Every structure is written in structure tokens, then in C-alpha cells.
Amino acid sequence: MTTTSDRVAGSRARQTSHHVSQSVFDGSRLRVVLLVDVHDGAQQEFLEAYEQLCNQVASVPGHVSDQLCQSIENPSQWLITSEWESAPPFLAWVNSEDHVRMVEPLHSCVRDTRSLRFHVVRETGGPATGADAAERRLQRAPRIGDGVIRHALTFTVKPGSEEIVAKILADYESPEPQVDDTTRLCRTSLFMHGNRVVRAVEVRGDLLAALRHVARQPEVRAVEEAINPHLEQDRDLNDPESARMFFTRAALPAVHHVMAERQDAQTERYALYYPARPEHGMKLAELLARQDEAAADDSQNPVLRSTIFQRDDVVVRLIDVRGGLEAAGPAQVLGLSRSEQVSELTTLLDTTDAAAPSSADDLLRGVVELARMDLVTDRRSPDA
């Protein structure tokens, strides 16, 4: 079990390690900022809906406090800030069906929203040190990023339609990568595991602007319309509410990304799908994140990049491997470094479809076979 002291120790280690690392699992307090644009004349309706929501959120585990602010210059602009003990409880709530139901009363009075999430690094009163740092749960050292935002969508298609959907998704024309002066699409990777589709995107600049840009492209709209009849969850792209609900449920946030300092242009991209036992998705993602963080400093490890996406009990790990999977052992492919972690992984995985293993090696190979996703398409933008 990971304790606060373990996380603080991990933060200290990051001070001497210079690999790229972005994570929600360091135990720091979280500040969430929600920018809201309210329809003219709907301010009172919005306030009443917020007060109802606020009372419900107060009982959510991990929630500390929140504030509602209204612009002094434009009464239609509002700001909601909330504080959470750490990122995982917030993500567990914001990605839940309970959250979808809670925020429904806001939809009729809100024109647009934008959510920003921040770990608390410092606060007024001077830097926290020693035991005080652990108690206040501040991020001890800033992480080093690479300027790329990673996000994914996942959805399921009707059984029997997998080949048709894969062909539709593979044959589309790539949209223009340059969104505006500051935003560019870098890479889109599509994978399937049975009837589950995962589309991972990498963006430099503004993720929301990039997603809106892609959604407006005729070639992308044609693909979305073509797969509509095959989706298990109905959606109507001509109905903003239907489309919004679909993409809200399809969002698969990146919860951890690490990239080793050593890089190699000759890498191959793979995706692994880890179906977690009910209510164990976050624990599974954190286990994989801890191992990927440690492996980034291992010069012999052929996995040079890893991004973990998680929502509810769906965990997907996207890896770039030097020399392909043949160059890595099954433990490295799965993101494990010690034999006891195999046991921990299998206690979190839903392996009801896996055959009973005769040895530890067979177990590892079986989990790799169970987890590996089929590549549909992987496209990089020029100069990405």
C-alpha cells in the first residue's frame, strides 16, 4: 500500500531525475478551476443549480472546499474553484455517472465551460519542509513536461461490427494538423481490443481547441457518421446534448506519462488494455504508474515512453518500445519489475477470460496476450 511518505520520497527522487513525468499520483493537494460562461439572464438559475450541486459534492470523499465567484466586469462569467485532498478522488468522482447526473441541471443555463486542474506546489506562508510538507501535501518538486497534452477517447461497438469499424477508422483522411498559431495536432493512435475502441491524441497547445478543430473537419465528421450505426451507446451528432453526453462518457484521461531521458527514433507503439476488477481501476493505474516511473531511469529498459489512461475500470497503457515487443520481456511489456508485482497486478485485473497458467512465465505471457490491443492506425503530423 502506498503511503504519503512513499509519495513524498518519490517527489524527492524526481528532484534528481530529469526525465519527463506527468502524474496524478504524487499525493499532492489538487486545485480545480472551472471557468463558466452562463447564458444572459440565467444567472439566478445557475446559482440555484450550483447550490444544489455544492451540497451534493460536499459529501464526496476527498473533497475539501469550494468557492463560487462572479466576474466584476461581465456577470455572465463565473469561476468555480474547489480543493481536493489529492487528484485520484476528484478524478474518480468527475468521471462517474454520479457526476453526470449531478451537473445535468447546469446544462440549460451554461453556454460553455473549461476545467483546469493543478497540483498545489507552494502556498503563502513559506515553503513547507520535512514532516510539515507531508502534512500539507504540497507537490515537493515541479515536474518536467515536454509541452505535449495527451488525451484519449474510448467506446464500444456492437459485437460483430469490429472489422467494419476498424476499416472505417483506418481509411479516413487526416485533418489539417495546424489548429492556430499556438496549437497543433501531433499524433493520433487508434487501437481496438475486441469491440472496444481507443483513440489517443497528442496535442501541442490547447487541447480543447484541438478537439473542436478536429470535430469540425468534414473528413472526421464523415467517419463519425459512418460508425454511428455500429456504436453500442446511441448518439446523434446533430443534437448537441446527445453528442456532449457521448463524449463525456467516452473521455479517457491520461493519469500518468513518463518519458526516459534516453530516446531512440526507432520505436514502435503498442497499447495494452487492462480490464480492472470493479472499483479497482485507479489502484491498477497507480501500480502501473509507480513501475513506469522507476523503469524510466533503467538504461536497459526498452520501454522509452509510457502513458496510462484510466476511467472507472478501464485502464489503457500506451507504450513506445525500442526494438519492438520482441526486445522486451513480458514483465517489461506489462510495466512490472519484480515477481511479487505480478501477483499484485493479477489481484487487480479481471482475468475471468484467461486460461489457468501452469507457471509464472505462462501467467505473464497470458496477461500480455489478454491485454495487447490491435493497432488500427497510428499517424504523426509532419514535424511533430
- Name, in order, each residue with C-beta under 8 angstroms of 1's C-beta and a sequence gap of 6 or more: none
Instruction: Write the pLDDT tens digit of every residue in 279-336.
Output: 999 999 999 998 898 888 888 888 899 999 999 999 999 999 988 887 777 878 887 7
Cα gap 247→231, rounded to integer Å: 13
The answer, as to whether pTM is greater than 0.75, is yes
Give burial (CB, 10 Å; 0-12/13-18/19+) of 314. Answer: buried
Residue identified by cell 468527475 is 94
Nearest CA to 42 out of 6, 8, 17, 75 is that of 75
Tell me how far the alpha carbon of residue 156 is from its chain's centroid.
Answer: 17
Instruction: Write the pLDDT tens digit of every residue in 36-60.
Output: 999 999 999 999 999 988 888 999 9
With residue 117 as reference, give the H or E element that holds it: strand 110-119
Cα gap 74→243, rounded to integer Å: 29
Instruction: Write the pLDDT tens digit of every residue in 282-295.
Output: 999 999 998 898 88
- Paired with 307 in beta bridges are 257, 318
Nearest CA to 109 out of 47, 166, 167 is that of 47
Q: Which domains, ranges and CATH numbers included, belong to the chain?
A: 30-121 (3.30.70.100), 148-253 (3.30.70.1090), 254-375 (3.30.70)
Q: Do the beta carbons of residue 181 and residue 229 sit within 8 Å?
A: no
Instruction: Write the pLDDT tens digit of every residue in 147-197.
Output: 999 999 999 999 999 999 999 999 888 888 999 999 999 999 999 999 999
Quick check: helix, strand or coil at residue 173? coil
Give the pLDDT mean for 105-109. 88
- Paired with 122 in beta bridges are none
CB burial of 62-78 (b: ≥16 within 10 Å; e: otherwise) equals bbeebebeeeeeeebeb
What is the CB neighbour count within 10 angstroms for residue 334?
A: 25
Cα gap 359→1, rounded to integer Å: 26
More confident residue, 220 or 342: 220
Cα gap 264→261, rounded to integer Å: 10
Cα gap 24→256, rounded to integer Å: 6
